[in-house]
């Protein structure tokens, strides 16, 4: 029973949405819009569950003094501060506790929010992103070994592309790099894309028909 | 925002004002002025026979006849050209747009022969059998087709309703706030009576429910004053820099432009316009001269002085706005709210009356307009905007879908009948057991990342299918499993899966609810957290399955540092190279979708894989055949696979 | 033979340090590139297309969509600035917008700075339309009527009051849509601007996304592409050679190129070292 309801819902809605795709009439469009609205509403509720998970996870960490528990109060504190600052500071016509910034009077909450965002969130994200450069170097060093014909080809292709950037004014290298990208790369890409799209359709079909039910937990 | 939007919406709604001219004579006069002034300027800079050359060039330019009709017309037209009659557009055709919800019609007509003289066209529509024509659209000259639909009308109706609702909501609030506002405003005694022009604006702003209107004005005023001070300082410092020489250069440039203008006007009177080619070439020169003027300090000071004057005017107007609030009464608010509500109701009614309805049929006429002159076309044939129950341009999708579905069901039935279907070996999937086994041997946990996408992504679902098997094995061997999530819905599903897996394995008590958790929706913050887990908890096996973006290598390389055995799988082709370099096994693209079939060997699932492969073979075959056909210029081959 | 083995197992921290040094030094010392950057065909395509826009013709404007956030700024800002300089040099009216909200601030910063540098005026030479949510609706709506989506500019001035918007109603008056993005916003422009309205579209992307763009180039859905920081440098070179030969303009991409080249060189060297070790130890075993 616990499994039958979701499976029936999936089957019915899956088929209805499939039929909807072929009907341009107003009632069909209205149905689609309503369905999409429901999706957003449900997503909103799921966020509360996520939040609950976040809080309990860190709470248990603190309670049992697990390794690295000291970071948990920081995470919880950041959650509260950012939520308060964001909720108040981003509401329209907000002017609580005004401060003067570059000749403009804005609420201290707005000020803090934009500062937290531009001077903490963005640099932190950018830092994580830039670590990529170092990881690319070490990963390339470790795994680009000419072990077989295929890996030799990969190695040569990578060298051509990189050298085309380094020797920015040497003619044939750049053109060769361009060719590698626009011919063999594109062919492989389209192949993978085609296979993945069909696989995607088949998986959807399996889900709609209830053949695939692993995502509901268990095949029984 | 609403107030700014309003004039635009209203002009769209009433469409009675004549359309703006798309061709501005002033522009061409300016361009021509530029041309002449450049030559004048060049004359002042050169000497000797160069002057003669230039003068010769100028005179040849003057005597050349116009090559562009429009320029000639513009120069002659403004007053002199009197038109007594205009021809109507002809052959108005209406057609229903197929495959839609039934709210649009496409119109086409032949331009009026006098198109170039027109102000534009006005489109009228009437319900078949009725005489009452409603004005629908105003179009610029040159327009010979349009699409009549309900989009804009629907938006106006929505806007009207929103506005009425907000007035209803805000009126009592604004009334309550008014005494306080008047009290604040009384501190500004400048005004002694209500200025009628300002009144409506103020009432509208207060009705927009801003409790702190006065404070807001004061803030704006402070800002303006501060800006004025800054501008003043800038002006003073720039003035110190200006030398007599600079002033002279500036005057010279300005005079060059001005004298060019005078020359042009006399030229126009004598019917001696310059040629089009020179016009183009010299327009560039003009802009250079203009840039030169703008680059001079004198010009910048002049401009700043204008800015300053504007700021001062703004301050004064803000002051009078505040002072005027003291004269506003509750009755004003009520009256305004009432009249505005009525207006909005009128707008809604008018728009609703104009909506196309898909059971009625309509006739159109297109009227050519120039000033007071009107020339209506003949009525079009009647047409009805019908809604369709089947999208005819999607037949190919339907056929492909039916074909593909029957392939899959066929192979499922084959598999069910016990026919042995071969699946090639997929190393990444084979290695899952090995990885789980290793974690068990080492007594360390398993980390499973179900991608960073939502549940709507098929890769995520495929990953969750694999999670099911892994969690079950982990439960059997009593190996802890960690599943951090980025999407709240995926988190809920993953948690349910792991929990079920434990009870399937007969050990529901062993399930640790804290092992599946939600981290954050922020991409790199999530990565930072997962990397932290890898380095602290040192899982022996890492699974990165699902959809990944830029974070793929950040995760995989950290896992590599921590020494775990790593299996990745994604259909994001751009991320595959990163996984291949940093992980032990990589499941590529559709292999990921095949995983549940491969691991369970359940006939139903294996059958779909087979069907999928045949589908792919069919597409490959079709592509080859259709490409060859298209090479021979056979049109339908191209259209066959086009989807909408 | 222990040396050869060690060569294949260099500690990753050493690689990190070498890379950091090699990236930071050229940026601090502002190393100059020897010789000129040669523009790749895809970059040249974009340049030529903008060269062929007639500032007085029908499709006279360029719509620039700043669809990136600060995280990908280093790669995309050089491209954006070079294209803006090019358009300013040719007096092409520019319409600036953003699909993600962070793009607006980047756009305003770049345009305010470059406009002052090039003596261009807001409202006459360019307009900042700003940002509106839901990309698909925005792109489709602008095909009908730009004012329908953006009744006013970013600061609330009605578009009809801005001289730059004169005669620019929808995509029919736009000579090129230039989208700069670090994610996949380019897909929207292809699907919802190019396909239904047939407006030429080009994109500037980060190097990582380059491989994803080629299918669209093959089908001519993009007229050209700017790929990563190098394309920024290439475009800067093209623009400088044609319009600013005797002027000193800041070439952001060209300046960062030595750091990029050096880091790639380091990667190549390490890969070679790894392979030397691989062959030496394999022969031994």
Q: Is the CB of B215 less than 8 angstroms away from the CB of A95?
A: yes
> Out of A118, A125, A134, whose CB is closest to C16?
A134
Name the residue of chain A whose CA is nearest to B496's CA. Answer: A217
> A88: exposed, middle or buried (C-beta count within 10 Å: 0-12, 13-18, 19+)?
middle
Query: What pLDDT, in 10s, does the model give residues B97-123?
Result: 888 888 889 999 999 998 888 888 999
From B11's Cα to the closest Cα of chain A, the distance in A is 28
Contact of B359 with chain A, judged by CB distance below 8 Å, is answered with: no
Using CA atoms, how far apart are residues A201 and B469, in angstroms rounded to an integer? Answer: 22
Q: Pick from B137-151, B199-213, B439-453, C35-49 the range whose average pLDDT is largest.
A: B439-453
Residue B450 domain-assigned (yes or no) = yes
> Out of C211, C233, C263, whose CB is closest to A133?
C263
Secondary structure of chain C in the HEC alphabet?
CHHHHHHCCCCHHHHHHHHHHHHHHHHHHCCCCCCCCCCCHHHHHHHHHHHCCCCCCCCCEEEEEEECCHHHHHHHHHHHHHHHHHHHHCCCCEEEEECCCHHHHHHHHHHHHHHHHCCCCECCCEEEEEECCCHHHHHHHHHHCHHHHCCECCCCCEHHHCHHHCCCCCHHHEEEEEEEECCCCHHHHHHHHHHHHCCCEEEEECHHHHHHHHHHHHCCCCCCEEEHHHHHHHHHHHHHHHHCCCCCCCCHHHHHHHHHHHHHHHHHHHHHHHHHHHHHHHHHC
Q: Is the CB of C261 less than 8 angstroms away from the CB of A168?
A: yes
Secondary structure of B312-361 in the HEC alphabet?
HHHHHHHHHHHHHHCCCCHHHHHHHHHHHHHHHHHHHHHHHHHCCCCCCC
Angle, CA of A161, A162 and A167, to the nearest 5°: 100
CB B92 within 8 A of CB B366: yes
Contact of C77 with chain A, judged by CB distance below 8 Å, is answered with: no
So what's the pLDDT on residue B4?
Answer: 38
* Total domains, chain B: 3
Q: Is the CB of A214 less than 8 angstroms away from the CB of B611?
A: no
Q: Which residue of B1, B393, B458 to mutate against A (max A Cβ within 10 Å)?
A: B458
So what's the pLDDT on residue B245?
Answer: 81
Name residue, tokens 């706030």. Answer: B177
- The more confidently predicted of residues A58 and B201 is A58
Contacts of A129 in chain C (CB under 8 A): 71
Residue B535 domain-assigned (yes or no) = yes
Contacts of B609 in chain A (CB under 8 A): 202
Query: What pLDDT, in 10s, does the model give residues B549-596?
Result: 888 999 999 999 999 999 999 988 888 889 998 999 999 988 998 888
Q: Is the CB of C275 less than 8 angstroms away from the CB of A182?
A: no
So what's the pLDDT on residue C285?
Answer: 63
Contact of C266 with chain A, judged by CB distance below 8 Å, is answered with: yes
So what's the pLDDT on residue B285?
Answer: 60
Name residue, tokens 């450049």. Answer: B38
Q: Is the CB of C212 less than 8 angstroms away from the CB of B283?
A: no
Query: What pLDDT, in 10s, does the model give residues B586-616?
Result: 999 889 988 888 888 888 888 888 888 898 8
Residue boundaries of the structural domains of chain A? 1-69
So what's the pLDDT on residue B286?
Answer: 60
Statement: residue B307 has pLDDT above 60: yes
Using CA atoms, how far apart are residues C236 and C234, in angstroms rounded to an integer? Answer: 5
Same domain, B457 and B548: yes
Same domain, B584 and B479: yes
Query: What pLDDT, in 10s, does the model give residues C212-226?
Result: 888 888 888 999 999
From C210's Cα to the closest Cα of chain B, the distance in A is 9
Name the residue of chain B whose CA is nearest to A41's CA. Answer: B489
Q: Which of B46-60, B265-279, B420-434 has the lowest mean pLDDT?
A: B46-60
Same domain, B530 and B620: no
What order of strands is seen across the sheet that includes strand B362-370?
Answer: B134-139, B120-127, B362-370, B373-376
So what's the pLDDT on residue C35?
Answer: 77
Using CA atoms, how far apart are residues B295 and B276, in angstroms rounded to an integer? Answer: 29
Average per-residue pLDDT in chain C? 88
Q: Is the CB of B4 less than 8 angstroms away from the CB of C166?
A: no
Residue B272 has what DSSP assignment?
A: -
Name the residue of chain B whose CA is nearest to A26's CA. Answer: B101
- The more confidently predicted of residues C48 and B317 is C48
> Out of C40, C234, C274, whose CB is closest to A145?
C274
Name the residue of chain C whose CA is nearest to B283's CA. Answer: C56
> Out of A29, A47, A207, whose CB is closest to B461?
A207
- The more confidently predicted of residues B75 and C277 is C277
Query: What pLDDT, in 10s, does the model give residues B493-529?
Result: 999 999 999 998 999 999 998 999 999 988 889 999 9
Using CA atoms, how far apart are residues B130 and B399, in angstroms rounded to an integer? Answer: 44
ipTM for the complex shown:
0.91
Q: Is the CB of C273 less than 8 angstroms away from the CB of A141?
A: yes
Choose the final residue of a domain: B228, B254, B274.
B274
Q: Model confidence at C94, in pLDDT bands (50, 70, 90)?
A: very high
Statement: residue B222 has pLDDT above 80: yes
Contact of C265 with chain A, judged by CB distance below 8 Å, is answered with: yes
Same domain, B536 and B486: yes
Residue boundaries of the structural domains of chain C? 2-31+259-284, 41-250
Residue B638 is part of which domain span? 406-421+603-644
Q: Is the CB of B8 less than 8 angstroms away from the CB of C12?
A: no
The DSSP element (H or E) to which B600 belongs, if any, is helix B590-600
Query: What pLDDT, in 10s, does the model give residues C162-210?
Result: 888 877 888 988 999 999 998 889 999 998 899 888 899 999 999 888 8
Same domain, B586 and B607: no
Choose the final residue of a domain: B240, B274, B308.
B274
Beta strands in B115-155 (DSSP E): 120-127, 134-139, 145-149
Task: Reply yes or no on domain C41-250 having CATH 3.40.50.
Answer: yes
CB B430 within 8 A of CB B466: no
Q: Which ranges constitute the DSSP H helices of B478-507? A: 488-504
Q: CATH number, domain at B542?
A: 3.40.50
Name the residue of chain A whose CA is nearest to C273's CA. Answer: A141
Contacts of A215 in chain B (CB under 8 A): 461, 464-465, 468, 493, 497
Q: Model confidence at B412, in pLDDT bands (50, 70, 90)?
A: confident
The encoded tokens of residue B370 equal: 């120039």
Rounded average pLDDT over B68-95 = 67
Same domain, B201 and B249: yes
Residue B474 domain-assigned (yes or no) = yes
Angle, CA of B499, B502 and B505, to the nearest 5°: 150
Please give the share of chain B, as a percent, with pLDDT higher than 70: 80
Residue B491 domain-assigned (yes or no) = yes
Q: pTM to 2 decimals?
A: 0.76
Contacts of B514 in chain A (CB under 8 A): 56-57, 60
Contacts of B571 in chain A (CB under 8 A): 192, 196, 199-200
Q: Which residues 192-211 of B have a C-beta within 8 angstroms of A?
A: 210
- The more confidently predicted of residues B161 and B44 is B161
Using CA atoms, how far apart are residues B47 and B92, in angstroms rounded to an integer? Answer: 63
> Out of A165, A174, A186, whose CB is closest to C214?
A186
From B280's Cα to the closest Cα of chain C, the distance in A is 9
Contact of B145 with chain C, judged by CB distance below 8 Å, is answered with: no
Q: Which of B7-21, B37-51, B620-634, C62-76 has the lowest mean pLDDT?
A: B7-21
* Rounded alpha-carbon distances, angstroms, from residue B377 to A38, A89, C73: 49, 58, 56
Count of all residues that appear for chain A in the document: 220
- B514 φψ region: left (φ > 0), alpha (ψ -120 to 50), beta (else): alpha
Torsions phi, psi for C97 (to 5 deg)? -145, 180
Using CA atoms, how far apart are residues C222 and C209, in angstroms rounded to an integer? Answer: 14
Q: Which residue of B6, B8, B35, B147 to mutate against C (max C Cβ within 10 Å)?
A: B8
Q: Is the CB of C37 less than 8 angstroms away from the CB of A166?
A: no
- The more confidently predicted of residues C119 and A94 is C119
So what's the pLDDT on residue B139?
Answer: 82
So what's the pLDDT on residue A192?
Answer: 83
- The list of chain A residues with pLDDT below 50 reads 219-220
Residue B210 domain-assigned (yes or no) = yes
For residue B373, give the 3-state DSSP assignment.
strand
Same domain, B572 and B431: yes
The DSSP element (H or E) to which B639 belongs, if any, is helix B635-640
Contact of C245 with chain B, judged by CB distance below 8 Å, is answered with: no
Choose the final residue of a domain: B233, B253, B274.
B274
Average per-residue pLDDT in chain B? 80
Statement: residue B487 has pLDDT above 80: yes
Name the residue of chain A whose CA is nearest to C33's CA. Answer: A168
Contacts of B284 in chain C (CB under 8 A): 91
So what's the pLDDT on residue B644?
Answer: 66
């Amino acid at each position: 029973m616990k499994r039958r309801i979701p499976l029936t819902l999936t089957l019915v809605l899956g088929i209805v949405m499939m039929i909807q795709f072929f009907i341009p009439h107003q009632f069909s469009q209205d149905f689609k819009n309503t369905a999409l609205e429901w999706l957003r509403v449900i997503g909103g509720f799921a966020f509360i569950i996520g939040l609950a998970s976040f809080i309990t996870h860190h709470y248990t960490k603190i309670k049992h003094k697990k390794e690295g528990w000291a970071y948990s109060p920081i995470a919880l504190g950041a959650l509260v501060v950012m939520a308060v600052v964001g909720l108040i500071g981003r509401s329209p016509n907000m002017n609580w506790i005004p401060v003067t910034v570059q000749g403009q009077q804005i609420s201290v909450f707005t000020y803090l929010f934009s500062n937290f965002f531009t001077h903490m969130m963005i640099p932190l994200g950018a830092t994580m992103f830039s670590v990529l450069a170092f990881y690319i170097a070490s990963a390339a060093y470790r795994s680009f070994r000419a072990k077989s014909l295929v890996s030799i080809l990969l190695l040569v292709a990578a060298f051509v592309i990189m050298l085309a950037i380094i020797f920015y004014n040497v003619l044939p290298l750049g053109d060769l790099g361009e060719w590698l990208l626009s011919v063999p790369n594109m062919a492989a890409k389209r192949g993978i894309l085609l296979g993945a799209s069909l696989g995607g359709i088949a998986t959807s079909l399996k889900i709609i028909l209830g053949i695939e039910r692993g995502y509901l937990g268990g095949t029984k | 925002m609403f107030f700014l939007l309003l004039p635009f919406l209203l002009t769209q709604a009433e469409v009675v004002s004549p359309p703006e001219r798309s061709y501005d004579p002033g522009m061409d006069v300016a361009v021509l002025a530029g041309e002449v002034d450049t030559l004048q300027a060049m004359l002042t800079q050169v000497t000797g026979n160069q002057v003669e050359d230039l003068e010769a060039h100028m005179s040849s330019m003057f005597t050349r006849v116009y090559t562009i009709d429009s320029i000639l017309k513009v120069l002659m037209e403004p007053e002199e050209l009197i038109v007594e009659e205009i021809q109507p557009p002809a052959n108005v055709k209406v057609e229903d747009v197929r495959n839609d919800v039934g709210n649009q019609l496409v119109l086409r007509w032949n331009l009026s022969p006098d198109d170039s003289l027109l102000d534009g066209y006005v489109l009228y529509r009437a319900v078949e059998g009725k005489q009452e024509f409603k004005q629908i659209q105003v179009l610029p000259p040159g327009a010979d087709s349009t699409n009549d639909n309900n989009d804009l009308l629907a938006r106006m109706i929505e806007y009207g309703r929103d506005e009425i609702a907000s007035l209803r909501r805000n009126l009592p609030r604004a009334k309550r706030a008014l005494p306080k506002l008047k009290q604040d405003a009384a501190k500004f005694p400048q005004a002694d009576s209500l200025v009628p022009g300002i009144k409506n604006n103020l009432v509208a702003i207060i009705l927009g429910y801003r409790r702190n209107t006065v404070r807001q004005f004061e803030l704006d005023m402070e800002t303006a004053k501060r800006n004025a001070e800054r501008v003043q300082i800038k002006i003073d410092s720039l003035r110190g820099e200006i030398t007599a020489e600079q002033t002279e250069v500036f005057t010279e440039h300005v005079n060059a432009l001005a004298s060019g203008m005078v020359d042009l006007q006399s030229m126009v009177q004598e019917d001696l316009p310059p040629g089009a080619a020179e016009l183009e070439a010299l327009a560039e020169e003009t802009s250079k001269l203009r840039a030169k003027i703008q680059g001079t300090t004198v010009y910048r000071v002049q401009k700043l002085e204008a800015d300053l004057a504007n700021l001062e005017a703004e301050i004064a107007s803000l002051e009078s706005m505040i002072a005027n609030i003291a004269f506003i009464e509750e009755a004003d608010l009520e009256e305004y709210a009432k009249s505005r509500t009525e207006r909005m109701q009128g707008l809604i009614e008018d728009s609703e009356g104009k909506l196309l309805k898909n059971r009625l049929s309509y006739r159109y006429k297109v009227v050519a307009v120039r000033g007071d002159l009107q020339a209506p076309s003949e009525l079009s044939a009647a047409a009805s905007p019908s809604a369709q129950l089947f999208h005819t341009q999607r037949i190919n999708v339907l056929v492909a879908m039916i074909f593909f579905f029957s392939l899959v069901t066929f192979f499922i039935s084959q598999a069910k009948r016990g026919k042995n279907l071969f699946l090639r070996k997929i190393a990444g999937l084979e290695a899952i057991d090995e990885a789980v086994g290793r974690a068990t041997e080492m007594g360390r946990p398993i980390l499973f990342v179900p991608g960073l996408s939502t549940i709507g992504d098929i890769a995520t679902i495929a990953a969750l299918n694999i999670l099911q098997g892994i969690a079950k094995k982990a439960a059997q061997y009593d190996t802890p499993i960690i599943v951090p999530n980025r999407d709240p819905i995926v988190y809920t599903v993953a948690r349910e899966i792991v929990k079920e897996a434990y009870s399937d394995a007969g050990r529901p008590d062993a399930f640790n609810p804290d092992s599946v958790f939600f981290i954050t929706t922020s991409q790199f913050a999530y990565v930072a957290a997962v990397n932290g887990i890898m380095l602290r908890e040192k899982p022996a096996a890492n699974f990165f399955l699902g959809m990944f973006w830029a974070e793929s290598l950040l995760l995989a390389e950290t896992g590599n540092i921590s020494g775990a055995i790593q299996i990745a799988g994604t259909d994001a082709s751009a991320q595959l190279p990163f996984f291949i370099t940093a992980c032990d096994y990589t499941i590529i693209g559709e292999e990921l979708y095949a995983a549940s079939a491969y691991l369970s060997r359940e006939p139903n699932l294996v059958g779909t894989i087979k069907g999928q492969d045949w589908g792919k073979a069919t597409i490959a075959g079709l592509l080859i055949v259709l490409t060859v056909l298209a090479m021979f210029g056979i049109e339908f081959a191209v259209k066959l696979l086009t989807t909408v | 033979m222990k040396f050869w083995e060690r060569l294949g197992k260099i500690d990753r921290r050493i690689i990190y340090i070498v890379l950091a040094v090699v990236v930071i030094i050229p940026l601090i010392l502002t190393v100059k590139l020897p010789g000129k950057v040669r523009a790749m065909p895809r970059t040249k395509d974009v340049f030529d297309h903008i060269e062929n826009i007639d500032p007085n013709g029908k499709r006279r404007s360029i719509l620039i969509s700043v669809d990136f956030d600060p995280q990908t700024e280093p790669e995309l800002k050089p491209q954006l600035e070079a294209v803006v300089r090019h358009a300013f040099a040719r007096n092409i009216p520019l319409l600036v917008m953003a699909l993600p909200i962070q793009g607006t601030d980047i756009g305003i910063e770049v345009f305010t700075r470059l406009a002052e540098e090039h003596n261009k005026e807001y409202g006459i030479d360019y307009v900042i339309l700003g940002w509106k949510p839901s990309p698909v609706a925005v792109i489709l709506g602008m095909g009908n009527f730009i004012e329908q989506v953006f009744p006013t500019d970013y600061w609330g001035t009605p578009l009809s009051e801005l001289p730059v918007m004169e005669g620019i109603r929808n995509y029919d008056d736009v000579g090129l849509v230039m989208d700069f993005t670090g994610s996949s916003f380019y897909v929207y422009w292809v699907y919802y601007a190019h396909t239904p309205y047939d407006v030429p579209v080009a994109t500037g992307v980060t190097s990582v996304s380059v491989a994803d763009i080629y299918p669209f180039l093959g089908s001519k859905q993009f007229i050209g592409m700017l790929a990563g920081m190098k394309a920024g440098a290439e475009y800067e070179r093209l623009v400088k050679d044609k319009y600013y030969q005797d002027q000193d303009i800041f070439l952001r991409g060209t300046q960062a190129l030595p750091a990029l080249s050096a880091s790639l060189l380091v990667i190549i060297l390490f890969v070679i070292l790894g392979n030397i070790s691989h062959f030496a130890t394999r022969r031994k075993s």
